[in-house]
Chains A and B, each alone.
Chain A
Amino acid sequence: MSWAAHELESYFIQKHTKTRVSYLAILLGCFLPDLFTKLPVYGFTIGDFTLRASDPAQYHRGWPGVGFTHSLMFGVVAAGLVLWRTRSRAWSLGLLLGCRAHVLTDCFDSVGTMLFFPFTTQRYSTGTWAYASQQGRYGDASAYYSSLGGVWDFLWLLLAISGYSVFSKKYFFSTVVPSDPAWGWLQRTFGLSPLAMLTLYRSYFLYGGCRVIAWFVWSRWFDDAPLDWSWGGPFWVDKVHSPTTAVGDFLLNTAAGLLGLTVTLWLGWRLAAHRWWRQAADRSPPDQSAG
């Protein structure tokens, strides 16, 4: 899924999480699986130095590679580390939700994600649209916004807009800020005005929404890419597939993955996380003076 849609999903999660959760942590979680890994996928050149993965799909989503960032365990580890270091439930939960959303929504392309890594390297993919990162940034965008991926992005845009109350001043200062001490810290450290904080909060919606529109317009009228809303499209791009697995192996891998994940989560919770979680509850409420 595009970065723009990952930005938009953060507001949807914030709105529908019925407990105290940090918006900034959700946003960071939505970015985290790609944050340090996406650059070599498209590649970049500085002078004579070029950094580009020889097999972008394998590097990005596979093992060996950095595909472990697109697993359910990655979010758990990130959230666990944050809970351990900060004892903040709002941040830990936000990171977990953001990472999970990213990993699950990336299952819709033709390469998919290794949901149960490290217990299995089985990839899970619905193949709704073509994975085309190997075409470079522009080629990928052109293919994505000519396929059902573009439709998916517009759906996220509509979902975000349908919950428009999350963008109101009132929601920001009465719900978002009190849920997260980081806003108070930002205000104190950088001397941010209320308008600057509010705009920072809204900026990823505005940026994500406008990017969806801009990329779509660019693909249609500047790149002249033909629209193809068939399953797995667009037809004209050389797409990458996840390796095919026999049904029996798929079920076996999934069972092993589910079992490994469940046992690890249970052990992690029993041995340490429940203590950190309880200590986090003992903490005083965050600074609410930002509004």
Chain B
Amino acid sequence: MADEDPRYRETPAEKAALVTAALLLIVLGVVVGVPLLNWIVGPAFVITVVLLTAPLFRRIMRGYGE
């Protein structure tokens, strides 16, 4: 089954990173201001947050798993 292919498996750390990026986007969008988070900076912000926090969450979750 393709779903069991490890390449296609979503890890909890990746999901947590996506949720973090979404929450930050909403909070920053409401509180800090809007023109800053434009259609280039906004998605770049999402990518940066996910790439930075996914390994962090992976490490934290591995720590809990042990």
Residues of A within 8 A of B (CB): 3, 7, 31, 137-138, 141, 168-170, 173-174, 193-196, 199-200, 202-204, 206-207, 209-211, 213-215, 217-218, 222, 291
Contact = CB atoms under 8 A, between A and B. Distances in A.
Nearest to A204: B43
Interface in B10-24: 10, 14, 18, 21-22
Contact of B25 (A137, A138, A170, A211): A211
B62 interface: no
A23 to B, nearest CB: 13
A215 B34 contact: yes
B39 A207 contact: yes
B8 A210 contact: no
A209 to B, nearest CB: 7
B26 A210 contact: yes
Contacts of B3: 170
Given A168-B8, A203-B42, 18 more contacts: A169-B8, A170-B3, A173-B8, A194-B7, A195-B51, A195-B54, A196-B51, A202-B18, A203-B46, A203-B47, A206-B22, A207-B43, A210-B29, A215-B29, A217-B26, A218-B30, A222-B30, A291-B7
Contacts, number: 82
A169 B5 CA distance: 11
Given A138-B34, A199-B47, A206-B46, A214 B25 contact: yes
A209 B22 contact: yes
Given A169-B10, A209-B22, A217 B39 contact: no
A173 B7 contact: yes
B25 A169 contact: no
A222 B21 CA distance: 22
Interface in B43-57: 43-47, 50-51, 54
DSSP majority for the B interface?
A: helix
A218 B27 CA distance: 10
Given A169-B10, A214-B25, A200 B47 contact: yes
A173 B54 CA distance: 19
A195 B39 contact: no
Contacts of A207: 25, 37, 39, 42-43, 45-46
B8 A218 contact: no
Nearest to B19: A206
A213 B23 CA distance: 11
Contact of A217 (B8, B9, B30, B51): B30
B65 interface: no
Report, nearest first, the 8 A-B pairs whose CB atoms are least far apart: A214-B29, A203-B43, A210-B25, A170-B8, A203-B46, A207-B42, A199-B50, A169-B8
Contacts of A214: 25-26, 28-30, 34
B14 to A, nearest CB: 7
Contact of B34 (A7, A137, A173, A196): A137
A196 B39 contact: no
26 contacts: A31-B39, A137-B34, A138-B34, A168-B10, A170-B3, A193-B51, A194-B7, A195-B54, A196-B47, A199-B51, A202-B46, A203-B43, A203-B47, A204-B43, A206-B18, A206-B22, A206-B25, A206-B46, A207-B39, A207-B45, A211-B25, A211-B42, A214-B30, A215-B29, A217-B26, A291-B7
